[in-house]
Amino acid sequence: MRHAHTVEQVRAAEAALMARLPDGTLMQRAVAGLAATCARLLAGARGRVYGSRVVVLAGSGDNGGDALYAGALLARRGAAVTAVLLDPARAHPGGLAALRAARGLVLTEQEAGLAAFTGADLALDGIVGIGGRGGLRPPAQPYAAAPRPGTVVAVDVPSGVDPDTGEVPGVALRADVTVAFGTLKPGLLIDPGASYAGAVQLVGIGLDLPPAALTALQHPDVAALLPRPDTESDKYRRGVVGVAAGSARYPGAALLAVAGALRGGAGAVRYVGTAAEEVVRRFPEVLVTEGGPAGAGRVQAWVVGPGGGEGAERALREALASDVPVLVDADGLTELARLGPAALAGRTAPTLLTPHTGEAARLLAGADQGPPPQADGLAAARLRTAHRLASAYRATALLKGSTTVVAEPTGEARSNPTGTSWLATAGSGDVLAGLAGSLLAAGLAPLDAASAAAYLHGLAGRRAAGRGAPVTATDVARQLPAVWRDVHGGAAPARGAGRGARPDDARPDGRRAAAGARPGGRH
Ligand SMILES: NC(=O)C1=CN([C@@H]2O[C@H](COP(=O)(O)OP(=O)(O)OC[C@H]3O[C@@H](n4cnc5c(N)ncnc54)[C@H](O)[C@@H]3O)[C@@H](O)[C@H]2O)[C@@H](O)CC1
Ligand SMILES: Nc1ncnc2c1ncn2[C@@H]1O[C@H](COP(=O)(O)OP(=O)(O)O)[C@@H](O)[C@H]1O
Ligand SMILES: [K+]
């Protein structure tokens, strides 16, 4: 499991630890890890640190101090280090003295221009860290638009990315590698911030941290969550998932949701709706009933809404009246937005909502959260949006998109590391809904069912896309058994598909790439 903490949590943990340690100890721990990573990257790219060109972009805070001290360590190993001070009067005095003592060159931004940056083998982004607010300010903005140096290493956080949310409110500097201190920050795991962070490496500095504000599953976590039949199992004990989906207009959504449900670990899939004939023709193992959820036999979880069309209102009403977990997707969400959070008030079992940002906008408007939000704004603020939904509806909310985020009304949240933009294809959300519903029926808690489903779905999308090719929702469903085996076997996910290929310990399986590997794919 990867853990990310908010700025407030990090500051509190740092204060507690600093009170017990001599001044500067934490910074020196952070700097040692940072310089070691830079040295490995330089050695990987050039064979050695000696003679390499390093530029340090140093802002006014401790983040700039870290970068200056790391520059000093690299200068002592023979690198030609130039520090560019973006706020010379407020540069970190200790870091500056250390760099000067190591014979580093110190310039103002006017003196340096962009040449030192663009010509560097490695640039350290020490502009701002967890103290940064808003996008890059004017003196630093040109670096974001300039030609890229060999490798950009962000110190703690890529400057311009909101550490707590991953929002990028203005201009930010894209990194190939981010070296995070003490813990990850949510902004490193959630787009758009995650896409600025590159490969994320963690340097421990000994913080005693509270439960994480955000977690992200890795292969072993998912393997531990997935249901596995044992000698006592029968199809009912494994869970029956009910799928109320599809309509005369969208029969395909029923097939795709059922395809996902069949590969999600429940012992049986029961389908209700107008596509019963097509469903049985394609999947003879499915139990089918005409009508709505109320008249169907017993199930352990309902999936309502994919392609539900005109039948969605009845399906939603009947499923919500049940005492089992209900996953609401697509047309079911449109109906729920019309009814508002009151429709869930009497529920005794969990509800899981799986909107994309357009549906999230409708849900929030339906919850009377001020003026109707714009879907674009919600996509840029994924974590906040998922929290808002979960809290307004008192339900688990899985917000789909470039980073899928799951939030609980308790404030717990998970981000999914396996997505690929190849999944942005019609019907892939229906497969996800069926899969997550099946995991609910098998007994997983909503946060686990939702995040494990998003994880498998993302891996299946990557596997289907291979080195990068369009996939269909049917392809995604077909890959589910293979990725199920992958997470148990610890096999690495398919590389190179979409923007999921991150070269080191940002990889979802948690394995590290070889030391010194040149980060790729981001130039
Ligand atoms: N506190 C500690 O114990 C440790 C802190 N560490 C480092 O310290 C950093 C935090 O340091 P600070 O609290 O000094 O904060 P920062 O260095 O992140 O930034 C603070 C300064 O940046 C300015 N600023 C804010 N937003 C800006 C923007 N958008 N553009 C330009 N300037 C902006 C502020 O006016 C302030 O002077 C961490 O990210 C980490 O790198 C590490 O050394 C580990 C130990
Ligand atoms: N840019 C993207 N990057 C990664 N995944 C994406 C992106 N856009 C969409 N997805 C994923 O694709 C799926 C699309 O689901 P959805 O929007 O419900 O489509 P549909 O209704 O056609 O099935 C979701 O799992 C979502 O997370
Ligand atoms: K930074």
Mean pLDDT per block of 10 residues along the chain (523 residues) reads 98 96 95 98 96 98 98 98 98 98 97 96 98 95 97 98 97 98 98 97 97 98 94 87 94 97 95 95 94 92 94 96 98 97 97 98 89 88 97 98 97 96 96 98 97 98 95 98 92 40 36 33 28
Does 6 fall in a domain?
A: yes
Is 265 a member of any domain? yes
Q: Is residue 503 part of a domain?
A: no
Does residue 470 sit in helix, strand or coil?
Answer: coil
What distance in angstroms lies between residue 62's CA and the mean position of ligand 1's atoms?
5
Residue ranges making up the domain that contains 199: 2-216
Return d(Cα 210, Cα 229) in angstroms, integer: 35
496: Cβ contacts below 8 Å, ≥ 6 apart: 467, 468
Q: Which of 185, 216, 247 is the last residue of a domain?
A: 216
Q: Is residue 257 part of a domain?
A: yes
Residue 452: CATH number of its domain: 3.40.1190.20
Q: Is residue 514 part of a domain?
A: no
- The answer to whether position 87 is within a domain reads yes
Is residue 68 included in any domain, yes or no?
A: yes
Residues 167 and 251 both lie in one domain: no
From residue 165, alpha-carbon distances to 53, 70, 86, 329, 452 in Å are 33, 27, 25, 25, 22
Q: How far is CA 180 from the centre of its chain?
A: 16
Prediction ipTM score: 0.94
Q: Does residue 360 sit in the same domain as residue 432? A: yes
| 274 is known to lie in a ligand binding site | no
State the closest ligand 2 atom to the C-alpha of 426, by its place in the atom list counted from 1.
Answer: 22
Is 65 annotated among the ligand-binding residues?
A: yes
429 is in an annotated binding site: yes
353 in the same domain as 301: yes
**Which ligand 2 atom sits closest to the C-alpha of 457?**
25
**Cα of 156 from ligand 1 centre, angstroms:** 9
Do 37 and 128 have their domain in common? yes
Query: Where does a domain end: 216, 242, 271?
Result: 216
Of 11, 60, 173, 209, best ligand 1 pocket probe by most atoms within 8 Å of the beta carbon = 60
Any ligand 1 atom below 6 A from CB of 32? no
Question: Which among 121, 128, 77, 70 has a CA at the least distance from the CA of 99?
Answer: 70
427 annotated as a binding-site residue: no
Among all bound ligands, the one having the nearest atom to the CA of 403 is 2
Atom of ligand 1 nearest to the CA of 132: 26
Name the domain boundary from 189, 216, 243.
Answer: 216
47: left (phi over 0), alpha (psi -120 to 50) or beta: left
Q: Can you give the pLDDT at residue 496?
A: 36
Do 329 and 364 share a domain, yes or no?
yes
Same domain, 243 and 168: no
Q: Which ligand is nearest to the CA of 419?
A: 2
Nearby residues of 147 by Cβ (< 8 Å), 6 or more positions away: 118
* Claim to verify: residue 246 and residue 298 sit in the same structural domain: yes
- Atom 6 in ligand 2: residue holding the nearest Cα: 401
Phi, psi of 386 (to 5 degrees): -60, -40
Check whether residue 15 and residue 63 sit in a common domain: yes
Helical segments of 340-405, H only: 357-366, 375-380, 382-393
62 lines ligand 1 (CB under 6 A): yes
Q: What is the pLDDT of residue 490?
A: 59
Residue 63 labeled ligand binder = yes
Annotated binding-site residue? 307: yes
Residue 191, annotated ligand binder? no
Residues 162 and 242 occupy one common structural domain: no
* Ligand 2, residues at Cβ distance < 6 Å: 330, 356, 400-402, 404, 419-421, 423-424, 426-430, 432, 457
Predicted local confidence at residue 21, as pLDDT: 95
60 lines ligand 1 (CB under 6 A): yes
Please choose, from the candidates 422, 432, 426, the residue with its C-alpha nearest in 3D space to the C-alpha of residue 400. Answer: 432
Substitution site in 37, 124, 130, 208 for ligand 1 pocket (most atoms within 8 Å of beta carbon): 130
User: Is 265 annotated as ligand-binding?
Assistant: no
Assess if residue 485 is contained within a domain: yes
Instruction: Report the domain count for the chain.
Output: 2
Angle, CA of 395, 401 and 405, to the nearest 5°: 40
| Cβ atoms of 498 and 462 closer than 8 Å | yes
- Write the CATH number for 41: 3.40.50.10260
Q: Dihedrals φ, ψ of 302, to 5°?
A: -110, 145
* Same-domain check for residues 400 and 333: yes
Is the shortest distance between the CB of 181 and ligand 1 below 6 Å?
yes
Q: Is 129 in the pocket of ligand 1 (CB under 6 A)?
A: yes
Residues contacting 21, CB < 8 A, separation 6+: none
Rounded Cα–Cα distance for residues 311 and 345 (Å): 22
The best mutation among 329, 352, 353, 400 to test binding of ligand 2, ranked by most ligand atoms within 8 Å of the C-beta, falls on 400
Pocket test for ligand 1, best of 9, 128, 178 (most atoms within 8 A of CB): 128
18 C-alpha to ligand 3 centroid (Å): 21
Residue 95 annotated as part of some ligand binding site: no
Query: Could you give the CA distance from residue 26 to residue 251 in angstroms, rounded to a whole number?
Result: 59
Strands in 371-482 per DSSP E:
396-399, 405-407, 413-415
249 and 211 both lie in a single domain: no
> Is the CB of 195 inside a 6 Å radius of any atom of ligand 1?
no
Ligand closest to 90 (CA) is 1
> Ligand 1, closest atom to CA 181?
44
Q: Which atom of ligand 2 is found nearest the CA of 401?
A: 27
Residues 313 and 181 in one domain: no
Q: What is the pTM of this model?
A: 0.92
152 in ligand 1 pocket by Cβ < 6 Å? no
**Ligand with the closest atom to the CA of 130:** 1
Is 234 labelled as part of a ligand binding site?
A: no
